[in-house]
Amino acid sequence: MSGLDRLYMQRALELAELGRGSVSPNPVVGCVIVHDEKIIGEGYHQIYGGPHAEVNAVNSVSNPELLKESTAYVTLEPCAHFGKTPPCANLLVEKGLKKVVIAAVDSNPLVGGKGIEILKNAGIAVETGLLEKAARWQNRRFFTQIEKQRPYVILKWAQTQDGFVARTDFSSKWISGSQSRQLVHKWRAEEDAILVGKNTALHDNPRLDVRDWAGKNPKRIVLDSKLALPDSLHLFDQSINTICYNSQKTHASENLDFVNLGNDFSIIEILKDLNARKIQSLLVEGGSHVLAQFISSGLWDEARVFTGKSCFEAGISAPSLNENPAETLRIGDDTLNIYYHV
C-alpha cells in the first residue's frame, strides 16, 4: 500500500469518529471514494438506524459514472446482511466500484467475511488490513462486545494528592477542577451507559447526565442490592432511562427498570444482562468499592484517573491499579492518567 492509500484510510478513520456517541450498538465507520487520486466522495455512519458510511459516501459523489473506475476506502468490512438498512456490500457491487480497501474485517462470526465474499464474487478487487490496528482500536467497544460478549468497561474516578476519593463522611466535592468535570460530561455522551453503586448514589445524589456538554445522556445504572436507596434521588426521577440492579424485585415503569439478579448479584451477571440489552460500553463512576470489584474481577478495559491538587489527610481510599499509565495528561490543574487493561 502506498502513502496515498494510508492517507485516504486515515481520512476515513477521521470521518468515522464523527459518529461517536450516535450509532451504538453499530460500529463507527467512515468511507472515502477516490478516482484518479482525487477524493470524490466521503461519508460516515451518522446515526443508528440511518444510512451507513458507504451509502453516504456514494450519495455524495456528484458524477456517479466515475464510481466504476473508483476505489472505496472503508474502515470496517461492508455489511452483507439486511438490518435497518440494505447491505452495503451489495450497494458497492451495484455501483460497480473497481476496488475496495478495508481496514478491519468484521469479527462477528455471523457477518465477518461475507461482505468481502460478495465483493470478490462480483469481480471487485479487495484488499484488507490497511491501518487495521487503528481501525480496531477506534471500534474497541464494538469488537469487545462481539469477542468478549460484554460491554467495553471504562473506570473513572478522581482522587486527591494523598489518594482519597472522598472524606470520611463520604463527601467528595470538589476533588477535580471544572475543566475535568466538563471532560467527564463529554465522556458520558460517548458511552451507552454509566454506573454507580449505592453509596455514591446516596451521598452524591448524582444526575449522571451531560448537562455540561452537547450530546445524548447515557443510560443510568445503579447497584442497590437491598433497595435501600430513597426514591427521591435524581437517579429515580425517570428523566433518563435508568436500571436499578437489585436482589429484591423486578419491575418496569417508564424510564425506570428494577432488575432482580437474586443470589447472582455480581459484576459478571450485571455485564451479562447489559450485553443482552445491547449496551456496548459502560462508564463506571464509583464508588471506590464498586470500582475495586471491577478491578479485582479483571472485568475492565480502560481506567481514567484524575488526581487533583487537594489533600484530605483521611477518608475513603482510592482504588489501586497494578498498571503503569499509558498516557498522562494535564487537564487544568489536574493530572489525568489513562490505563489500558490488556
Kindly list the catalytic residues.
54
Query: Could you count the other beta carbons within 10 Å of the beta carbon of residue 49?
Result: 9
Query: What counts of helices (H) and strands (E) characterise the chain?
Result: 10, 17
Q: Are 258 and 249 in contact (CB under 8 A)?
A: yes
CA distance 89 to 83: 13
Query: Could you count the other beta carbons within 10 Å of the beta carbon of residue 249?
Result: 10
Q: Between helices 114-121 and 88-95, what is the axis angle to 10°?
A: 20
At residue 34, the 3 state secondary structure works out as: strand
Which of 157, 106, 146, 147 minimizes the C-alpha distance to 302? 157
CA distance 50 to 168: 49
